[in-house]
Amino acid sequence: MMKNKIKILILNFNGKAFLDNCINSVNDINYGNYSVVVIDNNSTDGSVQYVKEKYPEVEIIETKSNLMFAGGYNYFFSQALDDCFYMILNNDTIVDKEILNDFMDGVDRYGENNIYGAKILYLKDKDKIWYAGAKVNLSKGVIKHLNIRRDNSNVKLKDCMTDYVTGCCLFAHSEIFKKLEGFDSSFKMYMEDVDFCLRAKKRGINSYFLNSPKLFHHVSGSVKNKFFKIICSYMRLSLKHTGFLSIFNTPLFIIRKFLFFK
């Protein structure tokens, strides 16, 4: 029986240093019907030429300008949406070789009309959890990963519905991206994935955390003005989904981030 077609989409901007580990791990995936696409946001570090020379089997889509997370993926979606599943993947990750089989097992259990997320562990501390589901409560200023920085070996995790799936690794059928018209490109950095899942929920599309699929993420805290950018994105998100109530819940979010930045 022919397995479902899957396309792995790796967004890249000046990430040449990460691409070897990421693409090599993707190429080692144990699944019979998948392909890999690198969407390059106008890198200036030689990423495109490097991929063309070392990984000729990888399709490259060049955006010609830095469209950021949402814009980069939307550029790809605007070209053509195949009838297949997409796995959106950060370029600074290393995936488990069974990740696609594990995602498809989740689809078989819970259905095609859902968004799925994997267990994500820190690359530099491979037993520590970075993402294992998430909680969103905009009225209280809450957006957080569950079980973050806990030891994976000490936590009994199960598949469950979750409030959002991180864009670091997000798995869904092309029909869902079509229904939602991709990501909201007004978010320049952060919260695009939260908004995507909140909009999906309103359309009857649930998000699931799956315990079996896993990957490792090079989590970086070095983004310039990261705290400020997160606050600005939260304000946009809250205004979009709660209206005038954002006046009250944004200060709560800022306090939570200041005290428990994660």
> pLDDT tens for residues 198-230?
999 999 999 999 999 999 999 975 566 788 899
Q: Which residues neighbour 201 within 8 Å (Cβ) at sequence distance 6 or greater?
A: 207
- pLDDT value at position 223? 60
Separation of alpha carbons 121 and 148, rounded Å: 9
Q: How many helices (H) and strands (E) does the chain have?
A: 8, 12
Q: For the chain, how big is the Rg over CA atoms in Å?
A: 18
Residue 189 confidence (pLDDT): 86
Residues 6 or more apart from 139 whose CB is under 8 A from it?
242, 245, 249
Strand 6-12, strand 85-90: pairing? parallel
Confidence class of residue 111 from pLDDT cuts 50, 70 and 90? very high
Q: Render pLDDT for 14-55 as a digit per residue (tens, 0 to 9).
A: 999 999 999 999 999 999 999 999 999 999 999 999 999 999
To the nearest 10°, the Cα dihedral for 175, 85, 21, 169?
Answer: 50
Strands (E) located in 146-224: 160-162, 169-173, 206-217
Give mean pLDDT, residues 103-126: 97
Determine what percent of the chain is predicted with pLDDT higher than 70: 96
Mean of pLDDT over the chain: 94
Amino acid at 212: S
Decide which of 47 and 2 is more confident. 47
pLDDT (0 to 100) of residue 244: 86
Tell me how far apart the alpha carbons of residues 152 and 128 are, in angstroms, rounded to a whole number: 6
Query: What does the pLDDT look like over 130-180, one tens digit per residue?
Result: 999 999 999 999 999 999 999 999 999 999 999 999 999 999 999 999 999
| Amino acid, res. 227 | F
| Neighbouring residues of 64: CB distance < 8 A, sequence distance ≥ 6 | 42
